[in-house]
Amino acid sequence: MTLELVPPQVRSMVEAARADPEGFWARAARALPWLRPWDRVFRRDGASFRWFEGSLTNLCANALDRHVEAGRAGRAALVYASERGDRRVLTYGQLLHLVRRLSASLRGLGVRRGDRVTVYMPTCPEAIALMLACVRVGAVHSVVFAGFGAGALADRVRASGSRWVFTADVTYRKGVQVPLKGIVDEALRQVTGGVEGVVVLQRSPEGSPLEPGRDLSWDRFLAKAEGQSSDFEPMEANEPAYILATSGTTAKPKLAVHTHGGYQVGIHSAGRWCFGLKPDDVWWSTSDIGWVVGHSYIVYAPLLAGCTTVAYEGALDFPGPETPWRIVEELRVTGIFTSPTAVRLLMKYGEEPALRYDRSSLERVVCAGEVLNPPAWEWLQKRVLQDRVPVIDHWWQTETGGPVIGNPYGVAQLPIKPGSAGMPLPGMEVAVMTPEGEECGPGERGILVIRRPFPSLTPALWGEPERYAQDYWQRIPGRDVYFTGDAAQVDPDGYVWFAGRADEVIKIAAHRIGTIEVETAFLKHPAVAEAGVVGRPDEVRGEVISAFLVLKQGYEPSVALRQELLDTVRRELGPVAVVGEVNFVSMLPKTRSGKIMRRVLRSVILGRDPGDITTIEDEGSVEEARAAWRQLQAELSR
């Protein structure tokens, strides 16, 4: 890979990491304090590996105590904001005080080092403090997104072997009160044994009924602190801090493990190098604590950096599309971490709501989760931010804990190529290979693999060492590489371009086209807000493109529009991109983390059962896609 476009500061880091990876990560680790230094930086045995072996640390202590001890107790640590207009500020001193209290309460409840605790709560201060408290006492939290239903929750409680479940009576979304406690009751009816109790935070005036003998109110839980220690446990670097289900849709959830040591070093380093996180930031990650982004970049990395983190509960466009911009102005937000799905959501309303608010505090916007298609990038970069600050894409997964491919903005910014996620960050060694293990040259598409473990890479799936080895390290025969499952190519400048999941590539007359390229082409037409495409089997060409499109406000489906869309795709991608049909829908099937579920669209056009859809955001989207598909078939046969 060429390093021509890489600024000298970044280049020297990349070269140092290549020459001596262990020395490189040891230096990165020394940016944080340790209770005891490691005996060995890295040890590997087949698919299993350990970082900073023998060292003692505690992720919570480095996120909180350290700043308070350094005299920064009065700095705002957490600002909670919600769609209902609530605001709550906790300083480092106040957050540590709350976390200490919850730690003592956890001990009073009988929670011990290594015990798993399920957190099925909205993104609110109590939930964040609880996560930190679990980590403080050496327990392992397992946060389940509070938008999942009872089945998905039951699976995750079972897989984690949690003894305790923490929940709230309700969360608020789009002005609606969503009952959570009822879902916990239903889920626990499906889990036999293991769970000793449920702790309930009552937030609504009505509250929710408690089951005698099993459920505990938040106040009764707090009362358990009496006589208990609130000190942190010194943890060996490889002990788990938390487990989190990957966003995959396999029937049995995969629980990725993240540790006290390696994970801490990885997210802290990436936070500085990729996002430029610094103590005077007001950092707003618009994600949710239910996802890895919420763990790493709402909670842990911003607090490790000593900055102010904003936690938001609710829908970004509620009560209206100006909500995010109002928060930016009010809190003087300096950095936003968001997702392409959020950008496309806001883009639907146009830039006018943003332009009404002062965005001058912003220094950068970073974005991950899916490809940030150039039209969406351009809208945010040019129309909303008027090219004043960069919009930076970066790539990672639940399993990687933090960014792997990105733009080292915090060290020295690379020129941005819209549509590319950037380059491997310092210390990351990646390659693109065919499924048979042959390395692809520049511009050739294959599967992105990672050549060696880095500190925040998940070292295990909870309780499933064989599955971990098979799913990640043994997928490419004869090659000892970590399999990401994503199709990608690297251009001659070393930039990585993602094309979708490897199993979603469309093959038209022997040409391989990534779903992302086609979706991006559709998004270039001003009428299109969102696009999801899949391959449909075709006798002549192997496959043709079947597209599902959501139109922006003010546009209606018509024969003329359909033709314009086909012309746009042809102009962008050439005649190889044969579009079989365009279906218009009002929403796409998406996971609750906002990723388009193309396999569901494929099941629609093949007339098959969609399989496991427990992670879907809105089941109505499947029915809608089916109806659009049926209507189109009826029109075509006329």
Work out which of 398, 458, 520, 546 binds ligand AMP, going by CB under 6 A.
398
Residue placing its CB nearer to ligand AMP in the complex, 230 or 515:
515
Q: Which of 585, 569, 488 is nearest to 530 (CA)?
A: 585
Q: How far is the CB of 556 from ligand AMP (least distance, A)?
A: 31
Subset of 376-395 contacting ligand AMP (CB under 6 A)? 393-395
Q: Rounded to whole angstroms, how far apart are CA atoms 67 and 309? A: 14
Kindly state whether residue 421 participates in binding ligand AMP, applying the rule CB under 6 A. Answer: yes
Q: Rounded to whole angstroms, how far apart are CA atoms 257 and 508? A: 39
Kindly state whether residue 504 participates in binding ligand AMP, applying the rule CB under 6 A. Answer: no
Kindly tell me the sign of the dihedral angle through the C-alpha atoms of 291, 458, 52, 455.
negative
Q: How far is the CB of 593 from ligand AMP (least distance, A)?
A: 5
Subset of 568-607 contacting ligand AMP (CB under 6 A)? 593
Q: What type of residue sits at position 540?
A: V
Edge-to-edge, what's the strand order for the sheet holding 364-367?
87-91, 76-82, 308-313, 282-285, 335-338, 364-367, 391-393
Q: Which residues contact 304 (CB under 8 A, 6 or more apart)?
A: 32, 62, 63, 264, 267, 268, 271
Work out which of 254, 501, 525, 592 binds ligand AMP, going by CB under 6 A.
501
Q: How far is the CB of 454 from ligand AMP (least distance, A)?
A: 16
Q: Rounded to whole angstroms, how far apart are CA atoms 84 and 277? A: 28
Which of the stretches 357-365, 479-487, 570-578, 611-619 binds ligand AMP when contact is defined by CB under 6 A? 479-487
Q: How far is the CB of 430 from ligand AMP (least distance, A)?
A: 13
Q: How far is the CB of 398 from ligand AMP (least distance, A)?
A: 3
Work out which of 142, 397, 458, 621 binds ligand AMP, going by CB under 6 A.
397
CA 215 to each of CA 178, 195, 558: distance values in angstroms, whole numbers, following the listed order: 19, 11, 56
Residue placing its CB nearer to ligand AMP in the complex, 247 or 286:
247
Residue placing its CB nearer to ligand AMP in the complex, 486 or 519:
486
Q: How far is the CB of 188 from ligand AMP (least distance, A)?
A: 26
**Cβ-contact 246, 253 below 8 angstroms:** yes
Q: How far is the CB of 304 from ligand AMP (least distance, A)?
A: 20
Kindly state whether residue 495 participates in binding ligand AMP, applying the rule CB under 6 A. Answer: no
CA angle 237, 199, 204 (to 5 degrees): 120
* HEC assignment per residue over 527-587: CEEEEEEEEEEECCCEEEEEEEEEECCCCCCCHHHHHHHHHHHHHHHCCCCCEEEEEECCC
Work out which of 273, 495, 498, 584 binds ligand AMP, going by CB under 6 A.
498
Q: Mask of contacts with ligand AMP, 227-266, x by CB under 6 A?
A: -------------------xx-------------------
Q: How far is the CB of 603 from ligand AMP (least distance, A)?
A: 19
Written as one string, the DSSP assignment of 263-315 is HHHHHHHHHHHTT---TT-EEEE-S-TTSHHHIIIIIIHHHHHT-EEEEEES-
Q: Which of 227, 232, 243 is nearest to 156 (CA)?
A: 243
Q: How far is the CB of 287 from ligand AMP (least distance, A)?
A: 10
Kindly state whether residue 292 participates in binding ligand AMP, applying the rule CB under 6 A. Answer: yes
Q: Mask of contacts with ligand AMP, 191-210, x by CB under 6 A?
A: --------------------
Q: How far is the CB of 431 from ligand AMP (least distance, A)?
A: 16
Kindly state whether residue 615 participates in binding ligand AMP, applying the rule CB under 6 A. Answer: no
Residue placing its CB nearer to ligand AMP in the complex, 169 or 617:
617
Subset of 316-375 contacting ligand AMP (CB under 6 A)? 368-371
Question: For residue 431, what are the β-bridge partners?
Answer: 449
Bridge-based pairing of strands 76-82 and 87-91 is antiparallel
Which of the stretches 139-147, 233-241, 396-404, 437-445 binds ligand AMP when contact is defined by CB under 6 A? 396-404
Q: Rounded to whole angstroms, how far apart are CA atoms 530 and 548? A: 8
**Cβ-contact 489, 430 below 8 angstroms:** no
Count of residues in contact with ligand AMP, rule CB under 6 A = 20
322 φ/ψ angles, rounded to the nearest 5 degrees: -85, -10
Q: How far is the CB of 544 from ligand AMP (least distance, A)?
A: 24
**Cβ-contact 260, 59 below 8 angstroms:** yes
Residue placing its CB nearer to ligand AMP in the complex, 14 or 404:
404
Residue placing its CB nearer to ligand AMP in the complex, 202 or 246:
246
Catalog residues that contact ligand AMP under the rule CB under 6 A: 246-247, 292, 368-371, 393-398, 421, 484-486, 498, 501, 593
